[in-house]
Amino acid sequence: MKKLFDEVNSLDKRCYEEFALSEDILMEHAASSMASYIQENYKDKKSILIVCGSGNNGADGIALARLLFKAYDISLYFYSKAKSQMSQLQLNRVNKLGVNITDSLYEADIIVDCIFGSGLNKPLKTDAIELIEKLNDLNSIKIACDIPSGINKKGQVLSIAFESDITITMGALKTSLFTDVAKEYVGDIKVANLGLQREVYETQTNKYLLEKEDMILPLRTKKHNSHKGTFGHLNVIAGCKKGAGVIAAKAAFGFGAGLVSVVCHEELDLPYHIMQTHFLSENCTAIAIGMGLGKYDKKEIEDILSKDVPMIIDADLFYEELILDVLHKDIILTPHPKEFCALLKLCNIADISIIELQDNRFYYASLFTNKYPNVTLVLKGANVIISKANQVFVNSFGSSVLSKGGSGDVLSGLIASLLAQGYKSIDAAISASLAHTLAAKAYKKNDYSLIPSDLVEEVKKL
C-alpha cells in the first residue's frame, strides 16, 4: 500500500527546513519529472500547449516549457498574469529562451493543465469555467499538473474540472485525488519526484492507497491435514428478498469457506453444496446479515446480533435502531452512501444528504469509526473507503461494471467467507474488497453485462 496525505505543504516545508532544499529546487524536480514522463511516453507527439495560472502551479508549467523547449513545439497560454515569486522567476527564464507565448487556445497534441493545482479554495470564476470547458472540448492528450484544475483541496468539484488522461501529482499522493467525484477527472495518477525519494519526502500518515499486492487470498497450499470444518462455517441470514442471501452464500463458498448455510424459515432452491437451516448452526464461525432482510422478527434478529461470532452487517439493518446495540463489537459494516447517511443519523453523528456525504466521504468515515473504533467500515463507492479506528484505506480499483444489482451481495459474501476462515475484520474487508473490484476489472465481456455469478467466477480466477 502507498501513503496518502490530506496536504503536502508541511512535507515541502520539511524539505526546506531539514534538507536545505529550496522551493526552486523542488520545482525544478517537479518540472523535470513531468518532462521525463512526456518524453518517455509521447515521443511521436510534436506540439504541447501548457495552460498556466498565476501561482506556483503555473510556475511548474512554465518550468516544464523551458525543459521541453525545442524538443517539442511548445506554447504557453496564461489564464492570468504570473503573480507568485516563483512564477515570475520561471517566466523570466523562458522569456530569455524565447518560448512562444500565445493568446489563443488550439488543439495541440498534448495539453498540460497548470492553472490552479491543489491549493484551490474558492469557487471558479466564470472565465475560468469557460476556459476549462474549452480545454475539455479539445481532442488532445490531457495532462494535469498536481491535480486537475477545478478540484479543490477536499477533492470536491464545485462546478467543472479539467478532464485529464494523466495526473502527475507532486511529491506524494493526496486524498483529494481519490474522492468519488475526482475519479471522473484524474485519469491515471503518477507521482513526481521532488528531489528526494518518497521514503524520505513522506512522513507518517493514517491513510493508505491499497494495491493489488495487499490482497491476501485464502489459498490452501500449506494446509494439507484439513477437512471442510477447517475453513469455517458461514451462516447467511436470508430475508424477504431471498436472492440477496443466496448470492452472498454462493460468493462465500466460491471464496473458500468450507461450509455455507443459508438461514431461512422458508424452503429455498439452493445449489447442492450450500446447506439450508432454520436456525444458526452450532459450529457457525461467521454471520452475514442484512442483505435483502426486509421485514423481520425483532426478537430473532436481536438473538442473532447478540452472538459472539465474527459478523458482517449490510443493507436494511442500517435503517434500524437494532444496529446501535452492536456498534461496540468487532464487526464489519458495508453501507452504500444512502445507507451510511441513515446510519450517521441513527448514531446522532450527522443528519446529512447523500450529496454532502459524497463531498466529504473521508471526513464522515473517520468521524464514524473514531466514535466506534471496534467497527470496520466499508463505505462503498467509486473508490471504496475502508476505515477502522483512525486508520483509512482506499480501494481505487472500482468501476461502473459493478453498478448492478447483486454486486454488493457478492461483496458481503466474500467478506463473510474470509471472516469464517479466521481473517481479522480489517484484513477480511481489505482482501475481499480488492478481490471484488479486481474480479470486475478482469471481466472481459461488455461492461454493462455483468451479473453476480460472473463476478463470482472471476473471483475464482484471481
Q: In the 8-state DSSP scheme, what is residue 4?
A: E
Q: Which of 286, 281, 368 is nearest to 327 (CA)?
A: 368
CB 135, CB 107: distance < 8 Å: no
Binding residues for (6S)-NADPHX: 56-60, 117-123, 146, 244, 292, 336, 409
3-state class (DSSP) for residue 119? helix
CA distance 431 to 216: 6
Beta strand 233-237 pairing with 259-263: parallel
3-state secondary structure of 336: coil
**DSSP secondary structure string, 61-81?**
HHHHHHHHBTTBEEEEEESS-
Helical H segments across 42-152, by residue range: 56-68, 85-97, 126-137
Residue ranges of the binding site for AMP: 408
At residue 432, the 3 state secondary structure works out as helix
Element (H, E) at 98: none
β-strand partners of 112: 50, 143
Q: In what order do the strands lie in the sheet with 47-52?
A: 100-102, 73-78, 47-52, 110-114, 141-145, 166-170, 188-192
Residue matched to cell numbers 489563443: 104
b/e per residue 323-351 (b: at least 16 CB within 10 A) = beebbebbbbbbbbbebbbbbbebeeebe
Cell of 372: 466506534
* Bind-site residues for K(+): 57, 113, 149
Binding-site sequence positions: 56-60, 113, 117-123, 146, 149, 244, 292, 336, 408-409
> Cα separation of 111 and 132, whole Å?
11
Strand order in the sheet with 332-333: 173-174, 2-5, 207-209, 391-395, 384-388, 376-379, 332-333, 311-313, 286-289, 233-237, 259-263, 275-277
- Amino acid identity, residue 70? K
State how far the Cα of 156 lies from the Cα of 354, in Å rounded to an integer.
14
**To 10 degrees, what angle do helices 452-460 and 425-442 make?**
110
Cα(153)–Cα(161) distance, rounded to whole angstroms? Answer: 13
